[in-house]
Chains A and B, each alone.
Chain A
Amino acid sequence: MPTATIPALPLLEDYPEGSVLPVEGADQPTWIVRREVLSRLALELRDNPETQFDLMLDLCGVDYPDRDERFEAVYHLYSLPRGERLRLKVPLTEADPVLPSLIDVWSACDWFEREAWDMFGIRFEGHPNLRRLLTHEAFQGHPLRKDYDPARRWILTEDKIYRPDPQPPGGDTDDDIFERMTINIGPSHPAMHGTFRVVACLDGEIIVASEVEIGYLHRCFEKMSETHTWQQVIPYTDRLNYCSSFINNVAYCRGVEQLLGIEPPPKAVWARTILSEFSRIMDHCVCNGTTLVDTGALTNFWYMFQPREEIYGLLEACCGARLTVSACRIGGLLQELPPDFEARCRNLLETIPAFISDVDKLITKNRIWLDRSVGVAAISGEEAVNRGWTGPCLRAAGVAYDVRKAHPYDLYDTVDFEVPVFQGGDVNDRFRVRMAEIEQSLSIIRQLLDRGMPEGGFIVDDPHVALPPKEDAYTQMEAMIYHFKLIMDGIQVPPGELYSMVEGANGELGFYIISDGSGKPYRIKVRPPCFPLMATFSRLMNGGTLSDAIATLGGLNVIAGELER
C-alpha cells in the first residue's frame, strides 16, 4: 500500500493540543480532527494560501460499533492549485453524533451531509434542509450502520409521499407579473431520465424556485458490497454508471490492487486503458445523444447510438456482455483478449469518426441548438469548484482538472493527449467539451494500438488473487485447492484503507475502501462524480425556463445508478 508523507503545515500549531492529529502510514495525508475545531480548520484549509483545499470531493460516514466513538465522518479534500489531497476524520459518539455543517465553506457539503444523515444518522447543525436524501419517507433507521439488517425493508404508501412546495425566498412580491404555479415533473418522466423528481415553482414561464428529489434508484450498493466478497463486488460496480461500466470496474479493481500491493501485468493495463477510453466515448455519446433528443434533435440520437452498438460488439467479444461488462478482475482482466482485438479496435477507429462528424455538422453551428444552449445554465469555474464539480462539466467552466493528467494512472502518462477546456460553463460548452474529448480518446486509443499489444498474461500470476486456469483446476490438486479457496473465501485483503480515483466519464470517480481483513469489504464509499452536479441542478434551473431545465439536465449527464448507488 502506498504511504504518503504528512506535510508539516504551519497552521496546525495554532490549534489546541490533540485537536488535530496526523495519522502515520496512510495512503494520503490524513488528520484526525476533533469536531470542536472542524469549522475553523475547514475554513482555514480552504483559504490559507499554503493549503488552498478548494474542492470538497467526498464526505461519508463510517461505523465502528466496537469503538468508544462509534462513528467517523470522513472528508476527502483536494487542492486544485497545489494538486494535493487531504483526508479529515472526525470521530463521533453514538450518543451525540452531531457535527457543524460546512455548507458555508464548501457548498458541495449540502447533499453529502444529507446522505450521511440518512445513512448513519450523523446530524449536521446548521444544515438548512437535513431531510433524508436516498431512502424514502416511511424509512426507519439508518441503513449503513453495521447493526442494520441488509434486507430489512419498509413499505412506502402513497399517503406518506413527500410533497415539496418550493417558494422563492422573497415570497409573493408585486414584481410578479404572472400567477405562481407549482409544477411536478417526474419521477417517471422521459426528460427526468426516469428517476428524478423536480418540483418547480413557476412565475409565468420562469422557474423562481425548485426542489430536486432523488433516491428513486437507491439500490444499496454500499450495503451490498459489505455482504459480498471482494470479487463479488465487481458486478455491482458495473451498475453504478452503467453507460461506462468498464471504467467503474477499473476504478474498483485498482483500489483493491493497491491495498493488496499488486500490479496487474502490462497487457491488462494496456487493454484497460483502451477499453476505458472506448467506454468514455460511449458515455459521451449517450450524454450528447440524450441532451439532443431532450431538446428535440432526434436524428442525432440515432447517429450517436450507432457507435455505441459498434463498441458493444468489441466489449461483447472481450467478455460476453454488452452493457454491464464485469470485464476486470482484481489483478488483471477476466480472460484472454480475443485474437482479433486489435483488428476490431482499428475498425472502430475507422467507423466512429463518421458518426461524430455527422452530429458535429448537424449541431455545432445549428441556430436552433445555439439558441437553446448558449448561456443556458451557465456557472463560473469558481462556483463549480466550490460546489464540488469535476470532469467535463467543470472543464466546460474553464478549470482544466483531469485525473488522467493531474494524477496519471495506467498508461495515461505515456500517451500524448490534451485536456479540452471551454470557458462558458453553459450547456453548449458541456456539449462541446464532450465532443472534443471523444476526439482525444480516439487519439489515445490510436497511440496505444500503434505501440502493439504487450506480451504476457492477462492477470497476475498469484494464486491468492487470480483463479488458476480451468484445466489446471481439473487436473492438479494444488490448483483445485486454490480455486476452491478463492471461490469460497474470496481474496484476503489486508486491513487498511485507501482512496483510489480514476477519471470517470463524468468526473473524478473515487473509491474509498476500508478493509478489516475479514475477506469482505468493511466499507466501500463511492465518490460519484455526478452527485455534486445533480446537487447543483436546482441552482442552475432557477431563473431559466422549464425547457432550459430539460436541456440542462441532459448536459449534466447524471446517471441515476451512480448518483444514488
Chain B
Amino acid sequence: MIGESWVTTTVDKLEEWGQNNSLWPLPFGTACCAIEFMSVVSSHYDMARFGYEVVRFSPRQSDVMIVAGTITDKMGPTLKRIYEQMPDPKWVVSMGACACSGGFYRAYHVMQGIDEIVPVDVYVPGCPPTPEGLMYGILQLKEKIKRDTRRRLKEKRADSDDSGSAAA
C-alpha cells in the first residue's frame, strides 16, 4: 500500500524486484581487474546507483560474486569453496579476460577460465574491462535475473496448466 493507493503483484515478481535492485556483490578480486573494480565502486563511477550497494566480503551475505582477476590453480579450491558458501540464489560475474578464459596467460599455473569450476552468468571481456564495461555487465545480469523470473513464471504456469488438464 502506498499512501491511499494499492499495488497488486505476485510474490514472484516482488521477489524478483527485490533481488534485482539490491544485489550485494562479493568482490573476489585478485589482480589488476580488482583495481578497476575499486574504481567502479568509488565516487566517480559509483556502482551503488544500480543497486549494487553494499560490497560484502563474506560469502554468506552476498548474492553475486564478481571474480576480478586471474585465478590460478592454487586459488582454484578457494574460489570453489567460497562459491559454495554463498546462499542461493546466487550469480557469478566473470570480470576480465583472465577470469573468462585465462587471458594471455596460457601457462602452467593459470586456470583457463573460472567456468572450469563454477558456473558463470555474465562474462565481461577486457584486460581489464573499462568501468563502463563492468557496469554494462552488471546491468546485463539484472536483465538476466528478470528474464529468468519470467521464464520461471511461465514454466510454473505451463506446469499448472499441464496438471490441470491431467486432472480433467
Contacts and interface: CB of A to CB of B under 8 A. Distances in A.
Nearest to A240: B32
Given A194-B69, A302-B42, A323 B36 contact: yes
> How big is chain A's contact interface, by range?
35 or more
A150 B73 contact: no
A219 B107 contact: yes
Contacts of A470: none
A364 interface: no
A490 B39 CA distance: 35
A322 B36 contact: yes
B72 A217 contact: yes
Interface of A: 134-136, 139, 143, 148-158, 161, 187-190, 194-195, 215-220, 223-224, 235-236, 238-239, 242-243, 286, 301-302, 305-306, 308-309, 312, 322-324, 560-561
B74 A143 contact: no
Contacts of A236: 104
Contacts of A243: 35
Given A239-B32, A306-B44, A560-B31, A156 B77 contact: yes
B28 to A, nearest CB: 6
11 contacts: A188-B78, A190-B57, A219-B98, A219-B109, A220-B109, A224-B107, A301-B42, A306-B42, A309-B44, A323-B32, A560-B30
Contacts of B99: none
Contacts of A223: 107-108
Interface of B: 27-32, 34-36, 38-39, 42-44, 57, 69-70, 72-82, 98, 104-110, 127-128, 130
Nearest to A154: B73
A340 B32 CA distance: 28
A136 B70 CA distance: 15
Nearest to A308: B39
Given A157-B77, A158-B80, A309-B42, 19 more contacts: A143-B109, A149-B108, A151-B107, A154-B108, A155-B73, A156-B77, A187-B78, A188-B28, A194-B34, A195-B30, A216-B75, A217-B30, A219-B70, A219-B105, A219-B109, A223-B107, A324-B127, A560-B30, A561-B31
B106 A156 contact: no
Contacts of B44: 305-306, 309
**Most chain B CB atoms below 10 A, which of A148, A217, A224, A305:** A217
B32 A302 contact: no
Pairs of residues from A and B, 5 with the lowest C-beta to C-beta distance, nearest first:
A220-B107, A242-B32, A136-B74, A305-B42, A158-B77
B77 to A, nearest CB: 4
A561 B128 CA distance: 14
Nearest to A156: B73
Contacts of B106: 150-151, 224
Nearest to A220: B107
